[in-house]
């Protein structure tokens, strides 16, 4: 195996591992065959009496019944998820409906992002658009009234800001270029990701780390940092959409099948279905295989005029065509995604030193980039409100 092939293989494995981690620390460990030491009993085994022959026969029968039930439940899960997969792919064929009904992306957001991308941007142009998006206005007012930012403003005024127009002027255009994409993606996040209780938080952390890493890498490579940050935020919109679609579709399809099994008096099937929950393996596979493609479709439908994302997304989804070269922003996004995933895996001790070396080499990180990233903040926006 050549070094390049080995690096590609490592990158693919670690990308999947990072998706597994979104669904849970234990699940990610299970996927790479780790032994859960917490499940091991290091005490002395309890003495057991010798089973009578009749008890041995009964135990064997129970084990057979349990095995048969598990097989039946697995078959029920397969049938259920085949139906869910069909339903999800059917919904993805109508990306406009996904944008409107699943993500809830308003047309005004794309217009605002476009305005923020040009030099002629002004608060006056943004104000009527933000007034039409009540949730965004509330977020901006809440931000400037946070104790930290009120303290920054105390030299001039300690009055509480109570309307979006004033909040916009306090925040300023430069800050808005980073704040609005952040608030937008946070607004599109699922309200709940149960039974994957930490998934929403990890999606938020992943998005923020990706955008901030993209901004830092862009700064070091003479690439527009606003473009990099904004695309870094939008890059995970496919994962958000697929998570919402899966959890919603699971509930709908599951309920129909439970009702049908009850109606037709299929007791074994009904019992098996009641034991089923959303499957982390199905979801992590869906996210890994389809999320970039969905992100590209959503971004294309947003019809951004002044943000050069279409060509970048094509390269991220399909690779660089023969004879073409990688766009600078594409390279930034690949590095940012790698580094943000590395941060999560490192925090949970799911990556080895030799894997890190191969991964960073595959994406051609420079020593300067790595040194800068190692000392950077990937959890919060570094903004100053005057």
Q: What share of the chain is helix, strand, coil (3-state, %, to 5)?
A: 70, 0, 30
| pLDDT at 234 (0 to 100) | 98
Q: Which stretches of the chain score pLDDT less than 70?
A: 1, 33-66, 150-158, 386
**Rounded CA gap, 335 and 31, in Å?**
25
288 and 151 part of one domain: no
| pLDDT at 147 (0 to 100) | 80
Main-chain phi, psi angles of 29, to 5 degrees: -65, -45
220 and 310 part of one domain: yes
178 occurs within a structural domain: yes
**Rounded CA gap, 157 and 265, in Å?**
70
**Rounded CA gap, 209 and 346, in Å?**
13
363 occurs within a structural domain: yes
Structure tokens at 358: 């191969």
51 occurs within a structural domain: no
366 and 272 part of one domain: yes
339 and 220 part of one domain: yes
Q: Are 272 and 114 in contact (CB under 8 A)?
A: no
Q: Which of 211, 202, 161 is nearest to 183 (CA)?
A: 211
Domain count, the chain: 2
239 and 338 part of one domain: yes
305 occurs within a structural domain: yes
256 occurs within a structural domain: yes
Q: Are 185 and 240 in contact (CB under 8 A)?
A: yes
202 and 282 part of one domain: yes
176 and 127 part of one domain: yes
- The verdict on whether omega for the bond into residue 12 sits within 30 degrees of 0, i.e. cis, is no
48 occurs within a structural domain: no
214 and 322 part of one domain: yes
| pLDDT at 45 (0 to 100) | 41
149 and 89 part of one domain: no
The pTM score is 0.88
| pLDDT at 160 (0 to 100) | 82
* Torsion (CA) 103, 189, 212, 3 in degrees, nearest 10: -80
183 occurs within a structural domain: yes
Domain boundary among 163, 187, 211: 187
216 and 302 part of one domain: yes
**Rounded CA gap, 338 and 332, in Å?**
10
Domain boundary among 124, 155, 187: 187
Q: Are 278 and 238 in contact (CB under 8 A)?
A: no
287 and 313 part of one domain: yes
Q: Are 316 and 292 in contact (CB under 8 A)?
A: yes
33 occurs within a structural domain: no
Number of helices followed by number of strands (H, E) in the chain: 19, 0
- The verdict on whether omega for the bond into residue 195 sits within 30 degrees of 0, i.e. cis, is yes
147 and 124 part of one domain: yes
Domain boundary among 187, 210, 237: 187
**Rounded CA gap, 347 and 369, in Å?**
20
**Rounded CA gap, 236 and 339, in Å?**
14
Which residue range forms the structural domain that includes residue 352?
A: 1-23+70-93+189-378
């Amino acid at each position: 195996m050549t070094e390049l092939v080995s690096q590609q293989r490592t990158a693919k494995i670690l990308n999947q591992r990072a998706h597994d981690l979104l669904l849970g620390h234990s699940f990610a460990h299970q996927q790479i065959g780790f032994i859960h030491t917490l499940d091991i009993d290091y005490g002395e085994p309890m003495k057991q009496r010798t089973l009578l022959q009749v008890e041995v026969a009964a135990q064997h029968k129970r084990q057979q019944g349990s095995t048969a039930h598990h097989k039946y439940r697995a078959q029920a899960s397969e049938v259920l998820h085949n139906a869910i997969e069909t339903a999800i792919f059917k919904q993805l064929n109508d990306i406009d409906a996904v944008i409107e009904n699943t993500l809830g992306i308003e047309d005004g957001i794309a217009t605002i992002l476009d305005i923020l991308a040009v030099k002629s941007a002004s608060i006056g142009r943004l104000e009527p658009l933000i007034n039409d998006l009540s949730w965004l206005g509330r977020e901006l007012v809440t931000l400037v009234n946070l104790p930290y930012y009120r303290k920054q403003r105390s030299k001039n005024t300690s009055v509480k800001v109570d309307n979006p127009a004033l909040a916009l002027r306090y925040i300023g255009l430069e800050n808005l270029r980073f704040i609005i994409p952040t608030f937008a993606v946070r607004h599109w996040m699922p309200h709940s990701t149960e039974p994957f209780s930490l998934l929403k938080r990890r999606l938020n952390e992943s998005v923020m780390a990706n955008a901030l890493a993209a901004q830092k890498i862009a700064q070091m490579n003479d690439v527009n940092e606003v473009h990099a940050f904004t695309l870094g935020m939008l890059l995970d919109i496919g994962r958000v959409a697929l998570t919402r679609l899966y959890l919603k579709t699971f509930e709908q399809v599951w309920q129909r099948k439970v009702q049908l099994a009850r109606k037709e008096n299929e007791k074994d099937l009904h019992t098996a279905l009641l034991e089923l929950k959303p499957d982390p393996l199905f979801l992590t596979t869906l996210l890994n295989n389809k999320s970039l493609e969905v992100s590209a479709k959503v971004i294309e439908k947003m019809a951004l005029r002044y943000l050069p994302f279409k060509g970048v997304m094509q390269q991220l989804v399909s690779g660089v065509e023969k004879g073409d070269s990688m766009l600078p922003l594409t390279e930034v996004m690949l590095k940012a995604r790698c580094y943000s995933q590395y941060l999560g895996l490192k925090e949970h001790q799911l990556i080895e030193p030799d894997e890190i070396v191969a991964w960073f080499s595959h994406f051609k990180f420079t020593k300067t980039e790595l040194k800068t990233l190692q000392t950077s903040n990937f959890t919060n926006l570094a903004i100053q409100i005057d």
